[in-house]
Amino acid sequence: MQENQIECETLLDAGAVLEKLRRSSLYKQFHWLESVPSTQAVAKQIGEENAPHGTLVWAEYQTEGRGRRGRVWEAAKGENLIFSLLLRSSFPAEDLFWVTACLGLAVCHGLETASGLAGMIKWPNDIFLEGKKVGGILTEARFDGSLTRYIVSGLGLNVNWNPQKAEEMPYPVTSVSREVGECIKREDLLGEILQGFERLFSFLECGNRRSIEEAWLSRFILLGKRVLVIGDGGEFECTVTGLRKDGALLIQRSNGTEEPVFAGDVSLRM
């Protein structure tokens, strides 16, 4: 083993997580899977069937994990957190961003409890720790007319993984154990994230989005920064000025005009 490398692969103790969630009124059904093509695909499939609001699909390992914009999400067995959450709430499309925001904030809260370090969010769905990507969220929905029939929000979080094993990435990556220098009990972190999500999501469902917006902006790593946006229509540099109510990124071009960005990859310029 190389110096400063932390090896801590163990299977998740689902009973410990259930114990932590015993008072939850959100989480109704749990699917603890060892290996699956994608928890996102399973959650969508059971969303088409009768699985209830608050169903958690968790896996130790995925063979076809998917990220945003059709990318692959790789995660080693026994080292990370991989799950998708099925929600049967009725939201208009412009509120979906706030489901991702609730999960992102819950992850930041969980990271702080587990590691003492402040997690940050890079629009729209990346979780950053110490300036490097530590996780990502993928939120998808099936609509009935203009409202969601069900939502699936999936998280991949590098917990006890060694980033030296990563293939060449276009941005720096890390794991929680890498940043704190010790193994993390995944049960505790997962329990904290799920409890935090339940609390934040209840605000969203009650129409109390303001507190979520404020919390999200305080974790927003890009605010006021010079960035490169790579979207479907090409790439350009600009300054990030804020976030719109529908979750679009607000940017200012070099000529002073302000405009929203709805999709794309955003990277910080040094």
Rama region for 227: left / alpha / beta (φ>0; ψ in -120 to 50; rest): beta
Q: What angle do CA 141, 144, 146 make, to 5 degrees?
A: 85
* Among 54, 136, 247, 264, interactor with ligand BTN by CB under 6 A: 136
Confirm or reject binding of residue 82 to ligand BTN (CB under 6 A): yes
The amino acid present at 20, given as its one-letter code, is K
Give the burial string for 205-221 (b: 16+ CB within 10 Å, else e).
Answer: eeeebeebeebbeebbb
- Spatial distance between the Cα atoms of 164 and 174, rounded to a whole number of angstroms: 9
Kindly state the number of chain residues that form the binding site for ligand BTN, as judged by CB under 6 A: 21
Confirm or reject binding of residue 77 to ligand BTN (CB under 6 A): no
Confirm or reject binding of residue 175 to ligand BTN (CB under 6 A): no
Helix (H) or strand (E) holding 239: strand 234-243
Answer yes or no: are the C-beta atoms of 86 and 48 closer than 8 Å.
Answer: no
Q: What's the min distance (Å) between Cβ of 136 and ligand BTN? A: 2
Tell me phi and psi for residue 23, to 5 degrees. Answer: -95, 5
Confirm or reject binding of residue 225 to ligand BTN (CB under 6 A): no
Instruction: Pick between residue 228 and residue 241 the one whose CB is nearest to ligand BTN.
Output: 228
Instruction: Pick between residue 130 and residue 241 the one whose CB is nearest to ligand BTN.
Output: 130
**Footprint (CB under 6 A) of ligand BTN, residues 97-126:** 125-126
- Spatial distance between the Cα atoms of 138 and 78, rounded to a whole number of angstroms: 21
- Spatial distance between the Cα atoms of 200 and 196, rounded to a whole number of angstroms: 6
Map residue 186 onto helix, strand or coil. helix
* Among 27, 56, 84, 148, interactor with ligand BTN by CB under 6 A: 84
* Among 38, 55, 115, 139, interactor with ligand BTN by CB under 6 A: 38
DSSP 99: H
Confirm or reject binding of residue 154 to ligand BTN (CB under 6 A): yes
Q: What's the min distance (Å) between Cβ of 62 and ligand BTN? A: 6
Instruction: Pick between residue 37 and residue 147 the one whose CB is nearest to ligand BTN.
Output: 37
- Spatial distance between the Cα atoms of 72 and 106, rounded to a whole number of angstroms: 24
* Among 12, 26, 40, 219, interactor with ligand BTN by CB under 6 A: 40
Q: What's the min distance (Å) between Cβ of 46 and ligand BTN? A: 13
Q: Which residues bind ligand BTN (CB under 6 A)?
A: 38-40, 62, 65-68, 71, 73, 82-84, 125-126, 136-138, 154-156
